[in-house]
Amino acid sequence: MFIEATIFYNGQYISIIEDNVKDAIAAFIAALPFDGNMVISDLEATIRAVEGVNDIVFKNVYARAFETDFLTAATKLMDDYKLLAIGSRKWETVAGYMVAEDTSGYTLTDKLTFTIDG
């Protein structure tokens, strides 16, 4: 799974917010049931539940099967701030599980932007 988003947070959490959000996303992915679905609104709720997070705005969310090339064939669930179709609100896992994207330049470290809110 690839996520490009802006996370707005309370500035007093500046030293821990990035790690806490990334840990929450990793825990969310790990907790998906075998052969389950990744639901974008559940992902949003998970990130918003991190202490200090005020809001999140998704720009792009992609998913793919392991053998699928990310750059040429990943499935776009959200593209340029828009849910592409009502069916795109969730992703049915292909191999029964999900992992964070590992393509260079498209990892969680690369495309999550953290902005102090207020």
Average pLDDT, the chain: 87
- Residue 3, phi then psi, degrees to nearest 5: -130, 125
Residues in Cβ contact with 34 at an 8 Å cutoff, skipping those fewer than 6 apart: 96, 97
Lowest mean pLDDT among 17-26, 32-41, 82-91, 93-102: 82-91
The pLDDT, as a whole number, for residue 88 is 66
Q: Residue with structure tokens 């053998």?
A: 67
Instruction: Tell me if the pTM is above 0.85.
Output: no
The pLDDT, as a whole number, for residue 86 is 61
Helices (H), 1-118: 17-31, 40-48, 70-73, 108-111
- Please write the tens of the pLDDT for every residue from 49-99: 999 999 999 999 988 877 788 777 787 887 887 776 665 677 777 777 788
The pLDDT, as a whole number, for residue 108 is 79
Q: How many helices (H) and strands (E) does the chain have?
A: 4, 7
Structural domain boundaries in the chain: 2-116
